[in-house]
Structure 1
Amino acid sequence: MSGPAKGNTVFIPRIIFYAEDDDNEFPFKLKRKEFPVVPAFVMTSTRHKVSKAMTLTSTVTSQKAIKITVGPEMINVDGR
């Protein structure tokens, strides 16, 4: 979480969707609960020979949303 709520516990409400049936074709109403979040997938693997980390991401909405953490042992002497 970033912005003014960073570091605080926040409440993310579920959104309830109702299917509208104007034709009254079905004798029931469809209801679905959903969280208003975008799913993301992150996987990290280390290649031992060259000591580089490779991070695979998908479903990222912007470049600002990507965060990559690198340990000090992964940085070469020249800073790369």
Structure 2
Amino acid sequence: IFITLLYRIFRISARSENKVYHLFSLGIGLILSFSFLMNSYGITSITPIKGIAVPFLSYGGSSVLAICIGIGMVLMVSKKAKL
């Protein structure tokens, strides 16, 4: 499910005509993929475990709020992008 979400975010980013919307959507997608990869690498002992919250799974205040706001803004970009 998470990979599908990232695919959709990157697709929205690629199809947006405005450069600001493109870079913002790309940044949100990269932040989510980086935090997911760092946690999965830590679980498999490839890298040391860091204190990065797992997107949509960690029980926290500011991290979950920031992710939800970012996803909401990407949804706003998707309304304005050519799909």
TM-score by length of 1: 0.25
Whichever of the two has the greater Rg, that structure is 1
**TM-score, normalization by structure 2:** 0.24
Structure with the higher fraction of residues in helix conformation = 2
